[in-house]
Amino acid sequence: MPIQINKGVLGKEFPPFAVTVERGKIKEFARAIGDLNPLYLDDRVGAASEWGDLIAPPTFAITFRDEGADTNALLRELGTDISRVLHGEQEFELHRPIRPGETFLCRSRVLDVYERTGKSGPMAFVVRETAVTDKANEIVATARHITVVRL
Amino acid sequence: MKYARVYAEDVKVGDELPPLAKGPIQQIQLTRYAGASGDFNPIHQDDEFAKAAGMGGVFAHGMLSMGFVAQALTDWAGAGRVRKIGVRFAALVRLEDTVTCRGRVLATSSKDDLHLVELEIWAENGKGEKVVTGKATVALPSRE
């Protein structure tokens, strides 16, 4: 019996949240991927680079989350739970590299909710966008995330 | 010459990235990626949970495979050069799978000092099945 997804989440805006990029988290993230690029790991190489410090790998913004928020709240609001969701697609637009010590503001909203039937049955797609801005209110990154819910 | 610098003038449509072979995927890497990324979905850690969810067992975070593809890109273009990267997670990556990341130049453009290269990017498992497909744009320096 397929579940029903709550399409009322379309257009939902989440409370903005701030993140501060920790030097050690950049290194931990790069090492977890097994990407040992010295620009991610070696402080001296970073300092001598055109960016003046370490930079984060291209997918690092996936770590930006609202630590104070209940991560399962959106899933509950959708009418599902974590055992039914898959990561369908992910995109990052990167306007400049991310460096340690920077504080950003993240604003997320639900851009689209739609249903399709694939090989493995009916599925709902929830498209979220997160805009990451710096203290000068310049856009640093835009992340688009498609969650697939197996109905 | 792992981090040799590539210049805009050196790139033409059809050029391929040096393939990057990652894996075989081990559980410890998924646990480590969970900690590093903050994605603690038990479907990547707990085989019983993953089976009960109908997924047939643990599989890797899509974002780990995307990280591999991004590495193939930055190994070639340089860290800090990626302007856009977007992927679809086409198939699950399982424990013991190898993931080979590839890419091919689709288009190049230059306007003033901005030299952009658009690529198709993908990753294959050991059977040659695509597990990630997508596109990326990198900004390269000029020799001038």
Q: What is the ipTM of this complex?
A: 0.97
pLDDT digits (tens, 9 = 90+) for B45-93: 999 999 999 999 999 999 999 999 999 999 999 999 999 999 999 999 9
Residue B63 distance to chain A (closest CA, Å):
8
- Across the range B34-47, mean pLDDT stands at 96
Query: B81: part of which helix (H) or strand (E)?
Result: none
Could you say which of B59, B79, B107 is where a domain stops?
Answer: B59
One domain, residues B36 and B100:
no
- Interface A-B: count of C-beta contacts within 8 A: 112
One domain, residues B93 and B140:
yes
CA distance A4 to A100: 42
One domain, residues B113 and B139:
yes
One domain, residues B95 and B128:
yes
One domain, residues B40 and B18:
no
Query: Taking the C-alpha atoms of A90, B40, A100 and A136 in order, what is their torsion angle to the nearest 10 degrees?
Result: 60
One domain, residues B116 and B126:
yes
- Across the range B105-113, mean pLDDT stands at 95
One domain, residues B91 and B110:
yes
Q: Is the pLDDT of residue B3 over 80?
A: no
**CATH number of the domain to which B109 belongs:** 3.10.129.10
Residue B81 distance to chain A (closest CA, Å):
8
CA-closest candidate to residue A90, choices B70, B17, B93: B70
| A33–B64 CB contact, under 8 Å | yes
The alpha-helical segments, DSSP class H, found in A71-123 are: 73-78
Of A49, A83, A93, the CB nearest to B84: A93
Q: Is the pLDDT of residue B137 over 50?
A: yes
**Domain spans of chain A?**
7-22+57-150
Number of domains in chain B: 2
Structural domain harbouring B97: 1-24+62-144
Helix (H, G, I), strand (E, B) or coil at B9: helix
One domain, residues B79 and B143:
yes
Q: What is the pLDDT of residue A3?
A: 85
Which fold does the domain A7-22+57-150 belong to in CATH?
Answer: Thiol Ester Dehydrase; Chain A (3.10.129)
Q: What is the pLDDT of residue B55?
A: 94
CA distance B3 to A139: 28
Residue ranges in chain A whose pLDDT is less than 50: none
Q: What is the pLDDT of residue B83?
A: 98
Interface of B with A in 51-110 (CB under 8 A): 52-54, 61-64, 66-68, 70-71, 73-75, 79-80, 82-89
Phi, psi dihedral angles at A33 (to 5 degrees) = -80, -20
Sheet holding A121-133, edge to edge: A17-20, A103-118, A121-133, A139-150, A85-94, B82-89, B130-140, B114-124, B99-111, B20-22
| A86–B75 CB contact, under 8 Å | no
Q: Is the pLDDT of residue B132 over 90?
A: yes
List chain A residues with CB under 8 Å of B80: 39, 49-51, 55, 97
One domain, residues B51 and B66:
no
One domain, residues B104 and B141:
yes
Q: What is the pLDDT of residue B1?
A: 47
Of A31, A83, A97, the CB nearest to B43: A83
Q: Chain-wide mean pLDDT for chain B? A: 96
Q: What is the pLDDT of residue A4?
A: 87
